[in-house]
Structure 1
Amino acid sequence: MWRQVRQLPTRQRAVLALRYFEELADDIADILGIRAVTVRATASRALAALRRSHESSKETAE
């Protein structure tokens, strides 16, 4: 999983790290200097990319 996280664009990695590892959900927009709606969209895209990558790696392993 960490390999897939490292492959995400920098902003997506930052949003996920702040949200899920630092538990700073309410402060991410201020920390990164972006709007809250951008944080939500970025997190959504990052999670979708991780899901796709995970599914792809599962299919390759089979």
Structure 2
Amino acid sequence: NNQGKNGSLDVMPLAEMERKLIFAALKKTNNHKTKAAELLGITVRTLRNKLNEYKEQGIEEVS
């Protein structure tokens, strides 16, 4: 649920939103990177680069 108390969207840093969307797409596609990238409108290379960045930061999954 992305809505706050008054029906407005919760605001968060863009990088955090990006991570949440990436992990949601991976979950929806059963971790299929090509399909997840297509859902997100990015290349598989970009997705892999983002995942490598998260891994380096110790971020494996977003709750």
Identity of aligned pairs, percent?
16
Determine the structure 2 residue equivalent to 1:26.
34
Larger relative contact order (CA 8 Å, sep ≥ 6): 1
Q: Once the 2 structures are TM-superposed, how far is the Cα of residue 26 of structure 1 from its aligned partner? A: 2.5
Root-mean-square deviation (CA, aligned residues, Å) is 2.6
Determine the structure 2 residue equivalent to 1:17.
24
The runs of at least 4 aligned residues of structure 1 exceeding 4 Å deviation read: none
Measured against aligned partners, the alpha-carbon deviations of 1:14-51 in whole angstroms (never above 9, x if no partner) come to 222322x33142211111111110000011112222x2
Higher helix share: 1
Q: Does the 8 Å contact 1:11/1:42 carry over to 2?
A: no
Residue segments in structure 2 that go unaligned for 5+ positions in a row:
1-12
Give the alignment's TM-score, normalised by structure 2: 0.50
Aligned counterparts of 2:56 and 2:20: Cα–Cα separation in 1: 13
Alignment length (residue pairs): 45
Determine the structure 2 residue equivalent to 1:45.
53
Question: For residue 45 of structure 2, what is the amino acid of its counterpart?
Answer: V
Residue segments in structure 1 that go unaligned for 5+ positions in a row:
1-6, 53-62
Aligned counterparts of 1:38 and 1:10: Cα–Cα separation in 2: 16
Give the alignment's TM-score, normalised by structure 1: 0.50
